[in-house]
């Protein structure tokens, strides 16, 4: 696995923190890691975006690259149109990932929002993953409603012939309610995809030193960590 695409079931599910966790665990193993963000939305020029969070959480141990940013907090295509800027094409994202792959052991490509959010009128993150021949790691919410959103996402991947590397809960509450507890067992059952991690709520606010062990203990062996799905 030299390239891994990270997508969410929607916005604000913890995609950037999970990306940082995968990067931190790989970097701690001595791997050369790069994180590519093809399109950053909702951030003005000069302001810190998702890659700044990745750099902070990993202590600057990974290389980051952003292809374009658009100030409005919208889907990349819509945000590009409103800003009067060119959209980022899947082909450009694939080319950038391939370039980073030459000098890195692992390249993480973080999408924007959900899997089918448009980069161009015809292009989504699915096209980026397919062009790279890469699997997609799906970041899901913890609570009520996540079963539907996650199954739709994994079905879309399956329909496109793109492999799913697993599901990670992006923000697991310290005191989960009944739905959240049940979802840990139900997510792999309804999707046919293994649950490979769960990041604790608030992990993104940690500094790099505190984040490193949290990342290791929150990701499963498939992602280089030590987490195991709790017994029901």
Residue 227 near residue 171 (C-beta atoms within 8 A): no
**What span, in angstroms and rounded, lies between the C-alpha atoms of 73 and 85?**
15
Instruction: Please say if 37 is a catalytic residue.
Output: yes
Of the candidates 222, 219, 204, 201, the residue with the CA atom closest to the CA atom of residue 143: 201
Single out the catalytic residue among 37, 69, 104, 216.
Answer: 37
DSSP the chain: --EEEEEESSSSSSHHHHHHHHHHHHHHTT--EEEEEEEEES--TTS--HHHHHHHHTTT-SEEEEEEEESSSS-HHHHHHHHT-PPPPHHHHHHHHHHHHTT-SEEEEEEEEETT--SSSS--HHHHHHHHT-EEEEEE-SSTTHHHHHHHHHHHHHHHT--EEEEEEEEE-SS--HHHHHHHHHHHHHHSS-EEEEEETTGGGS-HHHHHHHHHHHB-GGGTS---PPP-
Active site positions, annotated: 37
């Amino acid at each position: 696995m030299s390239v891994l695409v990270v997508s969410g079931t929607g916005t604000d599910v913890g995609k950037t923190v999970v990306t940082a966790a995968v990067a931190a665990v790989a970097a701690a193993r001595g791997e050369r890691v790069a994180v590519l963000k093809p399109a950053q939305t909702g951030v003005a020029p000069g302001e810190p975006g998702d890659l700044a969070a990745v750099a902070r959480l990993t202590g600057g141990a990974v290389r980051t690259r952003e292809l374009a940013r658009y100030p409005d907090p919208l889907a990349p295509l819509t945000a590009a149109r409103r800003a009067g800027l060119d959209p980022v094409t899947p082909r450009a994202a694939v080319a950038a990932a391939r370039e980073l792959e030459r000098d890195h052991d692992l390249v993480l490509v973080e999408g924007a929002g959900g899997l089918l959010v448009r980069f161009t009128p015809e292009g989504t993150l699915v096209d980026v993953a397919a062009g790279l021949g890469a699997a997609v790691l799906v970041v899901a919410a913890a609570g009520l409603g996540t079963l539907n959103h996650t199954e739709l996402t994994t079905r879309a991947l399956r329909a496109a012939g793109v492999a799913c590397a697993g599901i990670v809960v992006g923000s697991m509450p310290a005191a989960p309610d009944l739905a959240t507890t049940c979802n840990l067992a139900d997510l792999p059952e309804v999707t046919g995809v293994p649950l490979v991690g769960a990041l604790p709520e608030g992990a993104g606010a940690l500094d790099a030193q505190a984040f490193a062990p949290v990342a290791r203990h929150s990701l499963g062996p498939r992602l280089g960590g030590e987490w195991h799905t709790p017994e029901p």
